[in-house]
Amino acid sequence: MITNDTAFRWPDEGLTRVPYSVYQDADIYAAEQARIYRGPVWNFLCLAYELPNVGDYRVTQVGETPVVVTRDHEGGLNAFVNRCAHRGALLCLDQCGNADAITCVYHAWRYTLKGELASVAFHRGVNRKGGMPDGFDKSNHNLETLRVTEFCGLVFGTFDPATPDIEEYLGPEIATRIKRVLGRPLTLLGENTQTLDNNWKLYFENVKDSYHASLLHLFFTTFRINRLGQKGGVIVDDSGGHHVSYSIMDKALDNSSYTDQNIRSADDGVQLSDPSMLDAVDEFGDGVTLQILTVFPGLVVQQIQNAIAVRQVVPTGVTRTLLNWRYVGFDGDDDAMTERRLKQANLVGPAGYVSLEDGAVGGFVQRGIVGGGDAEGVVEMGGDGYESQDFRATETSVRGMWRRYRDLMGF
């Protein structure tokens, strides 16, 4: 385990340099589990929509730690580590389900929906032989619980009693923009999971990186969905960890700023034979056609036209990350709107016209930095700070992420 006085030192340039070791070092990865995921952050767990009834449960992860979320008999949400207090077996083996109590398959210890140890099989032994000692107190063997909160249908958990309330954690600008998209009763249209062959931070940076979108993603530029010349900006919260980037589609703007630089992502000669997937409606009434929002350390809320998704970023190893997608609609959507959301959802997900490339590019970085020793990435686009900006040719929110990361990690 690293400590603050080991050889690791952040480069003197500050936020404009990122040492490649932070994506490769097993000691740093282990320290993140303690300092970030068990630290003063709100981790996205699941949607409240997934737990409508008493006894519903859903498994998830906080960092690498397995966690289960339950709906208890009082209607409240609970989260606890999905690990039996006896010998550590995983308790809930299915992704989701419904149960009166949580029973371990190994030796049948049973827990309430709040994670309290309710019974121990053969507690008193058999025929007065065996069993637990007289002093054994069940209440000392409850499951490790997390504090839980709900915001706009998103369920968050934290291990740290010092984590501020969710609205304070998010800050007013981020909270407002989550409400903009998710501030009405939602429904789940579908979900899937993909594995990324890269460190979790490479994906989280990618989502914050408004510079890359129209360059990496041919689809965005070719079909004039998202270009750097469109109106838009980036908002970074005071901590640096959360961000929103937004833009307003401008079909009249041509791609000459790309073609003049010979950038491959702009091909004005290509047409969609069925352009109906880009037929969007302005459901938010503000003209914003793209809003990508992150909540540190693992939540992405996406609005691309009418395609709404909630993404959960889960580290499962130094160079392995799970990306869980949930595609969202809302109560009151008519069939046409549901159809529209589903059609536009082809932009995203593991094989999405746009997101496919985000699933690959983190692996390109991970492979490129092998053998990089003490080398560093350069993050100078748009300045050296992490302030909000009214343009998107910038890496301001990437620098913000490193500000927050370094504060939590003590780097």
Q: 79: exposed, middle or buried (C-beta count within 10 Å: 0-12, 13-18, 19+)?
A: buried
φ and ψ of 370, to 5 deg: -60, 130
- Which range touches Fe ion (CB under 5 A), out of 64-72, 221-229, 314-322, 350-358? 350-358
358 forms part of the interface with Fe ion (CB under 5 A)? yes
The Cα–Cα gap between 411 and 402 comes to: 10
138 forms part of the interface with ligand FES (CB under 6 A)? no
Q: Are the beta carbons of 34 and 159 closer than 8 angstroms?
A: no
Q: Are the beta carbons of 141 and 117 closer than 8 angstroms?
A: yes
237 forms part of the interface with Fe ion (CB under 5 A)? no
String of contacts with ligand FES for each residue 55-84, x by CB under 6 A: -----------------------------x
Among 54, 89, 342, 365, binds ligand FES (CB under 6 A): 89
Q: Is 211 helix (H, G, I), strand (E, B) or coil?
A: coil
Tokens for 269, please give them.
């000669």
Q: 376: exposed, middle or buried (C-beta count within 10 Å: 0-12, 13-18, 19+)?
A: middle
Among 11, 26, 107, 284, binds ligand FES (CB under 6 A): 107
Full 3-state SS string of 160-173:
CCCCCCHHHHHCHH
358 binds, options ligand FES, Fe ion, none, Cβ within 5 to 8 A by partner type: Fe ion
106 binds, options ligand FES, Fe ion, none, Cβ within 5 to 8 A by partner type: ligand FES
124 forms part of the interface with ligand FES (CB under 6 A)? no
Among 20, 37, 80, 109, binds ligand FES (CB under 6 A): 109
369 binds, options Fe ion, ligand FES, none, Cβ within 5 to 8 A by partner type: none
37 binds, options ligand FES, Fe ion, none, Cβ within 5 to 8 A by partner type: none
Among 46, 79, 104, 313, binds ligand FES (CB under 6 A): 104
Question: Measured in Å, how far apart are the chain's first and last C-alpha atoms?
Answer: 14
Binding residues for ligand FES, rule: CB under 6 A, are 84, 86-87, 89, 104, 106-107, 109
